[in-house]
Amino acid sequence: MNYYLLFFAGIGVALLAVLAWLSFSGIHRAARGDLGSRPEREYRHISYLPQIKQSLGQADYEYLLARGPAGLAKRVQKERRRIALHYLTALRTEFERLQHMARVVTSMSPEVAVAQELQGLRLNVEFSIRYRIIYLRLVSDIAPVSAINNLSNLISSLTVRMETAISSLGESAALAAELGSPHNGMNPG
Amino acid sequence: MESLHAFVKSLWAASFVLQVVILCLLVFRGHFRSLPFFTSYIALNLCQAVLLYAIYKRYDQQSDFVHTFAWQAEAITLIAKAFATIEVLRRVLIAYRGIWGLAWRLVTFTCMATLLGVVIAARGQGDWATMEADRGYHLIFATAVLACLALIRYYRIPVAPTYQIMLAGFCFYSCMKILANTALQEFLYQRFTTSGEIWQTFSMSVYVVVLVVWAVALLRPLPAPAPQDAALPPFGYPQTAPELHYQLQAINKQLMNFWKMEEPGS
């Protein structure tokens, strides 16, 4: 078989596949979060962080292992894994909401910085890949137990950071929401 | 002319009629005011068809003169096609000045990168220089249009169905031409004596399909161009975008920490 033929035929088919994907796959706007929605809904998971932290505490787990009936620690471990998954999902929601906001800001700006946008794209790709790998590892139960236990420490360090981020984003969100309404209702083209 | 297969002739006639229909739609529905370059592209295609018909009728199809004339005429329509596509893209992105600027840079980069790839791949293919150039053009064109479509999708910019169909039609035709030229050069030519006819039949069939879709799409009224009335002030982006990207980076970093934490033996 001619490699030249394979190379260009492959490129042609790949371009057609991309065209089909871009043309026929719908844009899931709803899943990306609406800028007009109430902020408290978007930050709901943040308000439960203390409880999540408590549920993932190492001390509780060790106590159950030593004093609890057989199987209880395992059940708790399973619950912890579920919580870790929920946490990941929340992290993803937060990321997508911010990204949506960034896109709206970019699409409404008369001038944009290429480097800034490339950084956003790179972050998006990195986040998507990591998210899927971690999610798969958690779902398939191949994540080490220590990782799940250590999640509480991670969440502790995140709490302060996220709250600071959210407060600083308040103004940006309000601005984007205000500007987002006419943008979304604009005539196509 | 006689040597052309009857089916190719009928496809040629069909494409001519369809282009006349599209030109009529553009003129009588007033679309030519919004899409002057696209109108010119269709008009040039019609002129090309008429000229080629006359030339084929008078001269031998295999002669150098006919070959050179046909490819020169093709080059003109390909340039017109590029302008028509830029025009449609501009109509889509006119309300998004920042994204339009980004699209220009992306198109330039994509064209340069693809051109480099095409030149490297075409080395030592001297006998097929014209076909290589044609395929190279379609490859660059399709890649650039797809890059712009991806950009439009990434920023969730609404596109009127008519413009979407026009861009997809241009891109689809170019992708099929890449496949047709590759098949002719690497496969059909060595195996079939009628390879030229097969190539023409395939190319013309695809073009007829694209023309039908365009004609249907142009039956709808074109949307009015929307000004960027809800734009951020010039200082809005430099103030907001770095902050948002910083927050995105922070969340990504948390996920990265989670990833590192999960590494066995950590």
> Can you give chain B as a three-state secondary structure string?
CCCCCHHHHHHHHHHHHHHHHHHHHHHHCCHHHHCHHHHHHHHHHHHHHHHHHHHHHHCCCCCHHHHHHHHHHHHHHHHHHHHHHHHHHHHHHCCCHHHHHHHHHHHHHHHHHHHHHHHHHCCCCHHHHHHHHHHHHHHHHHHHHHHHHHHHHHCCCCCCHHHHHHHHHHHHHHHHHHHHHHHHHHHHHHHCCCHHHHHHHHHHHHHHHHHHHHHHHCCCCCCCCCCCCCCCCCCHHHHHHHHHHHHHHHHHHHHHHHHHHHCCCC
Name the more confident of A180 and B200: B200
pLDDT at B262: 47
Distance CA A109, CA A97 (A): 19
pLDDT digits (tens, 9 = 90+) for A72-106: 877 877 777 787 788 778 777 877 877 787 787 78
pLDDT at B68: 83
CB contact under 8 A, A186 and B95: yes
CB contact under 8 A, B262 and A172: no
Q: Which residues of B touch A91 (CB under 8 A)?
A: 251, 254-255
CB contact under 8 A, B228 and A108: yes
pLDDT at A69: 79
Distance CA A140, CA A149 (A): 17
pLDDT at B84: 93
Q: Which residues of A touch B182 (CB under 8 A)?
A: 5, 8-9, 12
Q: Chain A within 8 Å of B240 (Cβ-Cβ)?
A: yes
How distant is the alpha carbon of residue B201 from its chain centre? 20
Contact B175, A15 (CB under 8 A): yes
CB contact under 8 A, A110 and B229: no
How many A-B residue pairs are in contact by the CB < 8 A criterion?
227
CB contact under 8 A, B244 and A105: yes
Residue with tokens 């089916």: B7
Write the ipTM. Answer: 0.79
Q: Chain A within 8 Å of B112 (Cβ-Cβ)?
A: no
Q: Chain A within 8 Å of B28 (Cβ-Cβ)?
A: no
The pLDDT mean for chain A works out to 66
CB contact under 8 A, B234 and A2: no
pLDDT at A50: 57
Percent of chain A whose pLDDT exceeds 90: 5
CB contact under 8 A, B237 and A7: no
pLDDT at B199: 84
Cβ within 8 Å of A, B 46-85: none
Contact B130, B74 (CB under 8 A): no
Distance CA B117, CA A145 (A): 48
CB contact under 8 A, A19 and B175: yes
From the number of C-beta atoms within 10 Å of its C-beta (0-12, 13-18, 19+), residue B123 rates as exposed
pLDDT at B44: 94
Q: Would you state the structure tokens that stand for residue A121, as one six-digit string?
A: 């794209």
Which residue from A26, A47, A53, A7 is spatially nearest to B122, judged by alpha carbons?
A7
Residue with tokens 């006419």: A182
Residues 6+ apart with CB under 8 A from B208: B11, B14, B15, B18
Residues 6+ apart with CB under 8 A from B116: none
pLDDT(A36) > 50: no
pLDDT at A125: 82
Expressed in percent and rounded to 5, the helix, strand and coil fractions of chain A are: 80, 0, 20
Cβ within 8 Å of A, B 180-199: 181-183, 186-187
- When pLDDT is averaged across residues A12-22 and rounded to a whole number, the result is 92
Contact A176, A101 (CB under 8 A): yes
**A125 to A58, A120, A129, A131: CA distances (angstroms):** 33, 9, 6, 10
pLDDT at A165: 47
CB contact under 8 A, B259 and A106: no
Q: Which residues of A touch B243 (CB under 8 A)?
A: 168-169, 172
Distance between B175 CA and the closest CA of chain A, angstroms: 5
- When pLDDT is averaged across residues A157-185 and rounded to a whole number, the result is 49
Residue A183 confidence class, pLDDT cut points 50, 70, 90: very low
Distance between A66 CA and the closest CA of chain B, angstroms: 24
pLDDT at B18: 95
B218: phi then psi, degrees, rounded to nearest 5: -80, -5
Distance between B20 CA and the closest CA of chain A, angstroms: 26
Q: Would you state the structure tokens that stand for residue B227, as one six-digit string?
A: 């000004």
CB contact under 8 A, B150 and A22: yes
How distant is the alpha carbon of residue B38 from its chain centre? 12
Residues 6+ apart with CB under 8 A from B48: B73, B74, B76, B77
- When pLDDT is averaged across residues A28-36 and rounded to a whole number, the result is 42
The tally of CA atoms less than 13 A away on the side-chain side of residue A44 is 8
CB contact under 8 A, A116 and B241: yes
pLDDT at B26: 94
Distance between B183 CA and the closest CA of chain A, angstroms: 7
Distance CA B76, CA B47 (A): 11
Nearest CA in chain A to B103: A114
Averaged pLDDT, groups of 10, chain B, 266 residues long: 70 93 93 92 93 85 81 87 91 85 87 81 67 85 92 87 93 92 77 78 92 93 69 64 70 64 43
Name the more confident of B217 and A135: B217
Distance between B178 CA and the closest CA of chain A, angstroms: 6
A18, A116, A183 ranked by CB distance to B146: nearest: A18
Residue A184 confidence class, pLDDT cut points 50, 70, 90: very low
Q: Which residues of B touch A131 (CB under 8 A)?
A: 255
